[in-house]
Amino acid sequence: MSELDFSHSAPLSLGVELELQIVSRLDGDLTGGATELLALIERKAHRGDFKPEMTESMIEVSTGIHQTSTSLGDELLDVRQTLLAAADKLNLLISGGGAHPFQHWAERKIFDKPRFHQLNELYGYLAKQFTVFGQHIHVGCPNGDEAIFLLHALSRYLPHFIALSAASPYYQGVDTAFESSRLNAISAFPLSGRAPMVKRWSEFTDYFTNMKEFGVVESMKDFYWDIRPKPEFGTVEIRICDTPLTIQRATELAAYAQTVCRYLLVERPFVIDESLYAVYTINRFQAARFGLDGGLIDPVSKQKGLLRDDFLATLSKLAPHAAELGTATHLESLRRAAERGNDALWMRDTYARSGSLPDLVWQQAQLWRESQ
Amino acid sequence: MDSLLDLQFWPDWPLALDPLACFGLVLFLAVVLGEIASRLRLPRISAYVATGVVLSFGRELPLLAGLLPSAHLVFELAFALLLFELGQRIDLGWLRRNPWLLATSLAESLLAFVAVGALMLLFDQPPILALLIAALTASTGPAVVLGVSKDSAARGQVTDRLALLSALGSCYSFVVLGVAYAWQHGETTEPLAAVLHPLYLLLGSMLLGGMAAWAVLRILARIKPGDNSQTLAAIALIIIAVALAKTLDLSVVISLLFAGILSRSLDRQHRLQPMDFGLISRLALIVVFVATGALLQPAQFMAALPAAVGLLAARALAKGVGVFLFARPSGLSLRKASLLSIGLLPMSGAALLWVESTAAIWPELGAQLAAIVLTALLIMEFLAPPALQFALRRANETGDKP
């Protein structure tokens, strides 16, 4: 089976990957520890998958495949428990958030694995600057053509995911004024951004083969797109989200993705073509910079409005699908977050109270540990 | 006027340099040697010890004679500062979250204590001497651990565990020593004192440390975070705590370690974390290690060499066994356990102070103690820092360029 054969998966099934920060209890700075954490976790049977990431200060957790966001949330709770037990033993803190508020990228150490060393060679300082933390959401697709449809259709809703997950206002010790500064670290990579306008899976495989012949990519992993197909899993993967500060928010975002995908697949509200991407980078910037207060241009209706209003309007359209999927409670939490403020706002408020970035990291780790 | 040289304002010849000038020269030499060591990828503190040893050859020179008497005081203050700084890197809550670490700490200290003590009895040393030597050598030198980890900007499991184990080991050592000395002194013949004295030493020192920590935090709360005044105020309090510990016959080591530990764990708003002694702590490292090198005068180096080498081997083996026994339950791979065992090699320079105070009270016992302990210390001051640096590098925890 070739890498590009699209595996079958149950439509609208869900899986989540979270990249998490490994933080020192001493000073709240990032610290190495992925190797020890992984060794400790693998000693016992556990739910979920734990993997190394680019640097020693990151760990990636991923869930199995779920039909509902509720059972996904249950597994994430178990995963959190496993991770915290190991981290406690090693005196490490685990924190969510899209970027560490004050780490210095030059101090990071590349995780000892051939692929990471190759990337470090190729990308130079970008590799270590890539110490940012994202949530990836996989949604199952019946076939490759549907995956390509969802890939493009979801781009219309990308700003919602950015604003709702945004949790990286501080970067390298300064307030960036962005709600998600993480996206700027990703944009530097040549294969980041959006996927090309292909409409069928066969066209996509042609594109991939072409790029491989150029020697630009070796595998799908080399594309850092905001949304990309994952033929191996039979999914479309939304990679734009910052890792939220709580697993509850991570679960809610997955529920939102699932519901939007159902809406798109069932109602086919618009036709896929290049015009969808006319305002893509503008909307993306507005969402990363201003969060829910950002502007949003609807590429379909050409209407200009506020991201928050667009999100709330979308929620009403999603209502029947949410009822069908059982995601209504999770979407209601997101609606409250959209009205009261996202994780970026929580971080700014917390920092304003203490005036100390190490203290902010400490509070983030507490929130990650205790949120219910 | 016969010549220009007869003019009044010329200084007298030969020039008399005061201790300040000596201090400048020594500092300069230490910094230069330190940089050379760093180019050779060796720890800077090895160069500081070497500076001290060079200095000790010239102790009869009038130029240096003025410097040595003041060396003790400066040494103790600098050592106290380093202990406080090490304490700040220690999280006692870790022992609660991972009790196997306490088991590791007790095992490596106790095994080293027993192994060294037994070996000394085997070498026909009197029991009291065996006890003192075992207690002096059972712990791992906190200043070396701090100095090398700072020098190589190390962070990670091995670094953190080394700091914790060396701090705990120092506490055990100094309680045992305090009690042993009191007994030897014949001050405490009553059985009640046998119980109360270690308690006084331990709890009193912890209480003093706690008060110092509380005072540091109260003051810091009133100064802008990151301001240099925070550091200066903390240093002033550290000096006062040292003076109080000495007046009250408490342990400077335990008091200052605890002041450091508590100043961090009582710091609920994390105000202290940005505090960095920076250059001052670098200066303290130079003072401590130059002074160690200068004061290390093993009288019968060659005669004591077999016993000292045997002691170091037994000690290294015992510590390694202690670490490996609980490596797995405490969550450490065997590879990192071996690196941690290497990291535990440094001996505490504080042994020097104990040996000197022993010699002042009981000249004969002091001389016997000095022969073995100082020979072992001299060997370790040269071997241990590069070994420790090697261990941290192999653990991939250093921040310096590979």
Nearest CA distance, A85 vs chain B (angstrom): 9
Q: Is the pLDDT of residue B3 over 80?
A: no
**Peptide bond connecting B225 to the previous residue in cis, omega within 30 degrees of 0:** no
Mean pLDDT (whole number) for A89-117: 86
Nearest CA distance, A47 vs chain B (angstrom): 20
Looking at residue B402, its pLDDT comes to 42
DSSP for residue A245: S
Q: pLDDT: is A49 or B302 the higher one?
A: A49
Share the mean pLDDT of chain A.
93
Residues in A closer than 8 angstroms to B103, CB to CB, are: none
DSSP for residue B12: P
Does B269 contact A88 at a Cβ distance shorter than 8 Å?
A: no
Looking at residue A288, its pLDDT comes to 96
Cβ pairs bridging A and B (under 8 Å): 65
Could you read off the pLDDT of B305-326 as tens digits, one per residue?
888 999 999 999 999 999 999 9
Ramachandran class of B227: left when φ > 0, alpha when ψ lies in -120 to 50, beta otherwise: beta
Could you read off the pLDDT of A263-301 as tens digits, one per residue?
999 999 999 999 999 999 999 999 999 999 999 999 999
Could you read off the pLDDT of B255-297 as tens digits, one per residue?
999 999 898 888 777 766 545 677 888 888 898 888 888 877 7
Q: Which of A119-128, B44-53, B214-223 has the highest mean pLDDT?
A: B44-53
Looking at residue B189, its pLDDT comes to 60
Tokens linked to B257: 């370690």
Which residues touch A160 (CB under 8 Å, ≥6 apart)? A256, A287, A307, A310, A311, A314
Nearest CA distance, A108 vs chain B (angstrom): 9
Q: Burial-class residue B214 by CB neighbours within 10 Å (0-12, 13-18, 19+).
A: middle
Does B91 contact A26 at a Cβ distance shorter than 8 Å?
A: yes
Tokens linked to A26: 């001493």
Looking at residue B366, its pLDDT comes to 84
Tokens linked to A27: 């000073």
Q: Is the pLDDT of residue B182 over 80?
A: no
Does A32 contact B396 at a Cβ distance shorter than 8 Å?
A: yes
Residues in B closer than 8 angstroms to A89, CB to CB, are: 97-98, 330-331
Looking at residue B370, its pLDDT comes to 86
Number of domains in chain B: 1
A-contacting residues in B 49-88 (Cβ below 8 Å): none
Q: pLDDT: is B3 or B399 the higher one?
A: B399
Dist. CA A36–CA A87, nearest whole Å: 9
Tokens linked to A186: 């990703």
Dist. CA A32–CA A25, nearest whole Å: 12
Q: Is the pLDDT of residue B21 over 80?
A: no
Does B396 contact A355 at a Cβ distance shorter than 8 Å?
A: no
Q: In order of start, what are the domains of chain A with their CATH numbers?
A: 14-370 (3.30.590.20)
Tell me if B9 is assigned to some domain. no
Looking at residue B63, its pLDDT comes to 59
Tokens linked to A212: 């491989």
Q: Which residue of B has its CA nearest to A359?
A: B270
Residues in B closer than 8 angstroms to A109, CB to CB, are: 396
Dist. CA B297–CA B290, nearest whole Å: 13
B89–A contact, CB cutoff 8 A = yes
Contact B42, B279 (CB under 8 A): no
Could you tell me the residue range of the domain that residue B223 belongs to? 16-394
Nearest CA distance, B350 vs chain A (angstrom): 26
Tokens linked to B193: 């004192």
Q: pLDDT: is A323 or B54 the higher one?
A: A323
Looking at residue B186, its pLDDT comes to 65
Which among A26, A90, A354 is the nearest to B331, CB-wise? A90
Tell me if B167 is assigned to some domain. yes
Looking at residue B290, its pLDDT comes to 87
Residues in B closer than 8 angstroms to A90, CB to CB, are: 98, 157, 331
Dist. CA A126–CA A224, nearest whole Å: 13
Residue to mutate among B217, B265, B273, with most A CBs inside 10 A, is B273
Which residues touch B64 (CB under 8 Å, ≥6 apart)? B22, B55, B58
Which residues touch B70 (CB under 8 Å, ≥6 apart)? B19
Looking at residue B183, its pLDDT comes to 73
Mean pLDDT (whole number) for A88-104: 93
Tokens linked to A157: 């809703």
How many C-beta atoms lie closer than 10 Å to residue A41's C-beta? 20
Looking at residue B1, its pLDDT comes to 52
How many C-beta atoms lie closer than 10 Å to residue B129's C-beta? 19
Nearest CA distance, B47 vs chain A (angstrom): 26
Mean pLDDT (whole number) for A316-344: 96
Give the confidence band of B13 by pLDDT, cuts at 50, 70, 90.
low
**pTM for this structure?**
0.88
Looking at residue B47, its pLDDT comes to 92
Does B155 contact A32 at a Cβ distance shorter than 8 Å?
A: yes
Mean pLDDT (whole number) for A4-12: 89
Does A28 contact B270 at a Cβ distance shorter than 8 Å?
A: yes
Residue to mutate among B158, B160, B339, with most A CBs inside 10 A, is B160
Q: What CATH number does the domain containing B231 carry? A: 1.20.1530.20
Residues in B closer than 8 angstroms to A356, CB to CB, are: 225, 269-271, 273-274
Q: Give which of B373, B361, B402 is closest to B41, Cα–Cα.
A: B402
Residues in B closer than 8 angstroms to A91, CB to CB, are: 91, 93-94, 97-98, 160
Mean pLDDT (whole number) for A44-58: 89
Q: Which of A113-127, B190-204, B255-269, B376-390 has the highest mean pLDDT?
A: B376-390
Q: pLDDT: is B129 or B275 the higher one?
A: B129
Does A26 contact B273 at a Cβ distance shorter than 8 Å?
A: yes
A-contacting residues in B 317-346 (Cβ below 8 Å): 330-333, 336
Q: Burial-class residue A74 by CB neighbours within 10 Å (0-12, 13-18, 19+).
A: middle
Nearest CA distance, B184 vs chain A (angstrom): 41
Dist. CA B91–CA A11, nearest whole Å: 49
Give the confidence band of A190 by pLDDT, cuts at 50, 70, 90.
confident
Could you read off the pLDDT of A56-83 as tens digits, one per residue?
889 999 999 999 999 999 999 999 999 9
Which residues touch B371 (CB under 8 Å, ≥6 apart)? B298, B299, B300, B303, B304
Give the confidence band of B15 by pLDDT, cuts at 50, 70, 90.
low
Dist. CA A167–CA A182, nearest whole Å: 9
* Phi, psi for A225 (deg, rounded to 5): -65, 160
Dist. CA A99–CA A288, nearest whole Å: 13
Tell me if B126 is assigned to some domain. yes
Tell me if B144 is assigned to some domain. yes
Q: Which residue has the tokens 């026994």?
A: B325
Share the mean pLDDT of chain B.
85
> How much of chain A exceeds pLDDT 90, in percent?
77
Does A90 contact B269 at a Cβ distance shorter than 8 Å?
A: no
Residues in B closer than 8 angstroms to A56, CB to CB, are: 396
Which residues touch A174 (CB under 8 Å, ≥6 apart)? none
Residue to mutate among B85, B94, B150, B157, with most A CBs inside 10 A, is B157
> Looking at A139-143, A236-240, B187-191, B276-280, which range is the least confident one?
B187-191
Strand partners, A140: A235
B188–A contact, CB cutoff 8 A = no
> How much of chain B exceeds pLDDT 90, in percent?
39
Residue to mutate among A26, A57, A100, with most B CBs inside 10 A, is A26
Does B98 contact A359 at a Cβ distance shorter than 8 Å?
A: no
Residue to mutate among A356, A360, A362, A369, with most B CBs inside 10 A, is A356
Helix (H) or strand (E) holding A242: strand A235-242
Residues in A closer than 8 angstroms to B271, CB to CB, are: 356
Looking at residue A64, its pLDDT comes to 95
Which among B94, B271, B397 is the nearest to A32, CB-wise? B397
Q: Give which of B244, B83, B240, B82 is closest to B171, Cα–Cα.
A: B83
Tell me if B10 is assigned to some domain. no
